[in-house]
Every structure is written in C-alpha cells, then in structure tokens.
Amino acid sequence: MNTPTRVILLSGLSGAGKSIALRALEDLGFYCIDNLPAPLLPQAVALLEEDGYPRLAISVDARSAHSFASFSEHLAALVELGMEVQVLFLEAQDMVLIRRYSESRRSHPLSNGQLTISECITLEREMLSAVREQAHVIDTTGLSANHLRAWLRDLVAVAGRQMTLIFQSFGFKRGLPSDSDFVFDARCLPNPFYDPALRPLTGKDKPVADFLEADPNVALFIAQARGMLMQWLPEFARDQRGSLTIAVGCTGGQHRSVYCIEQLAASFASTYPVLIRHREQPHT
C-alpha cells in the first residue's frame, strides 16, 4: 500500500513566525512553497506528487486573501485526492506582533498608507478567521525561534491520521494560551510555591509531586479532568480533528499545572499520539 502524500498547509498572522516555520519544515524534508493562492492547491499538489515529492509544505496567507473564500473547498479536494493534510495556523498577541514589526522595521502586508499596524492586524485576523477554524493553532507569543522549530519538529513527528493530543501547562499571570481547546484551572489546588524548599522546583520534580499527591483534592481534580476528556475525545476524533490541545493553568505555570499535565498526558499516551508542552518551562 502506497504511503499518502503528506501536505502541511501553513497559515497565520504576519509576524507570527511563518517564515521560520516554513524554513523549519524545509529542514525536515518538506518541499516548501510560499504564498500559493488557494485555488491552485489541488493542481500544484497533484503535479508535485507526480514528480515524486511525498512531503509538501505550502504557505497560504493574507497576501492572497482574495482566494480564502474557497479555502475549505480546496482543502476538501486535497483530502479527496487521498492526501494526508494538516493545517497549521500561527498567531501571537497583538502587542507582540506590533513589537516584532517595530524591531524589524518591515511593513505589514496589508498596509496601504492609511491603516495603522494595529488596524492591519485586526483586519488580518478577520480575513483569516475561516482558515483558523480548520487549523491546529500555535500561539508563538512566548516562543523563541528555536522553541517554535522544536514544537514543529515534535508535531510533524507524531501527527498522522489519528488525532494528536497536545497537553500544555501555563501560568494565568501570562494570559490564557489562545491555541487551547480545553482549559482546566488548577489554582484551586494547594500551591508548592509557598514552601521555600519547593519554590525553585517544578511539577516534574518528585518533592513537588509528593507534596501534591498528599492532598486528595489533587487526585480528584485530575480524575475528573481525565473523565471529561475520556467522554468527549472520541467525539472530536469522529469530527476528523487532526489535533486537540488540552491546557491546565496555575498561577505561574511552574508547579501545579506542570504536575497535572504530566499526569493527564500519561493517562492517554497509550491511546493517542501525545505531545507535552510546558509554556512557562520551555527547557523542561
């Protein structure tokens, strides 16, 4: 049986890291095309498949916005051709995008001399909203270029025809991750931060785990979150979702959320492809 051609459609906001992502995918062995209008997708992919390219990454963004109305139609056409298609959407908070443009001194693609950068970003979000709804979203607000490349490498390695579960811890003090599908709030659990011996550690360290496991509410919290996910994950899988992001937050994203994410991820690792991200602990 022939392996289906793998196609990654890369979209997102200008300044969110699409150029970095496309270069990373090229390094991973994908043949990359930047800014292809959506109506050309089926034809271009079919031709490249004929020429023997098994892994393709194609960027579609605001520079060809006139073609977005037909994006869903052309995405469906790729699936009907037997392609293994994954849509990735990169975004970041407005202030981060504005800062990146200020640092690079580049013009926004939608700039016409009359719109501010902030207005261009708002317009671009509206234009790309239909694409975002069909994509796996990656929030690059707090990511360095190296971390974005690492996340893409991990995602490409596990993604396939089965839904991938991405478990992410975060700190509420830095805001909700915009790429989350489920969010659980662990701030109601006992906080190891107030123990000076545990403060410098993380939820992956045994002393912190021992501290949390001593409180029965922690086990109850994890069991109830696990039960909810077990109930509804099959419904998302039947809806042909390529990935689902489950986030757990605590105040700083260091102890409680990290521990809970590790426990939840272990519960599903034998059933689904699983990735773990600790947003505030990028090196762990």
Shared domain check, 172 and 103: no
Interval 98-155: pLDDT, tens? 999 888 878 888 888 888 999 999 999 998 888 898 899 999 998 889 989 998 998 8
pTM of the model: 0.83
Over range 239-252, report the average pLDDT.
Answer: 92
Of 112, 139, 158, the domain-final residue = 158
DSSP letters for 157-200 = HH-SSSPEEEEEEEEGGG---TT-SEEEE-TTS--GGGSTTTTT
Of 158, 173, 198, the domain-final residue = 158
Between 127-136, 154-163, 213-222, 244-253, the lowest mean confidence (pLDDT) is in 154-163
CATH code of the domain covering residue 50? 3.40.50.300
Shared domain check, 15 and 148: yes
The structure tokens listed for 202 are 């993380």
Over range 216-240, report the average pLDDT.
Answer: 94
Shared domain check, 193 and 146: no
How far is it, in rounded angstroms, from Cα 195 to Cα 158? 38
251 lies in a domain?
Answer: yes
Domain span at residue 176 reads 164-278
Shared domain check, 203 and 66: no
Shared domain check, 200 and 59: no
Shared domain check, 128 and 41: yes
Shared domain check, 203 and 148: no
Between 55-69, 145-159, 231-245, 254-268, the lowest mean confidence (pLDDT) is in 55-69
Q: What's the pLDDT at 171?
A: 97
Interval 38-64: pLDDT, tens? 888 888 998 998 899 999 999 988 777
Q: What's the pLDDT at 169?
A: 97
Phi, psi for residue 85 in degrees, rounded to 5: -110, 135
Whether the per-residue pLDDT at 65 is higher than 60: the answer is yes
DSSP letters for the chain = -PPPPEEEEEEE-TTSSHHHHHHHHHHTT-EEESS--GGGHHHHHHHHHHTT--EEEEE--GGGGGGGGGHHHHHHHHHHTT-EEEEEEEE--HHHHHHHHHHHTPPPTT--SSS-HHHHHHHHHHHHHHHHHTSEEEE-TT--HHHHHHHHHHHHHH-SSSPEEEEEEEEGGG---TT-SEEEE-TTS--GGGSTTTTTS-TTSHHHHHHHHTSHHHHHHHHHHHHHHHHHHHHHHHTT-SEEEEEEEESSSSSHHHHHHHHHHHHHTTTS-EEEEETT-TT-
How far is it, in rounded angstroms, from Cα 175 to Cα 178? 9
The structure tokens listed for 108 are 């926004």
State the pLDDT confidence band at 1, using cuts at 50, 70 and 90. very low
End-to-end Cα separation, the chain, in angstroms? 39
The structure tokens listed for 125 are 């979000």
16 lies in a domain?
Answer: yes
How far is it, in rounded angstroms, from Cα 177 to Cα 142? 10
Give the closest residue to 28 by CA, choosing from 165, 158, 161, 149: 149
Shared domain check, 227 and 151: no
The CA angle 216-222-225, to the nearest 5 degrees, is 140
Give the closest residue to 269 by CA, choosing from 185, 150, 164, 186: 164
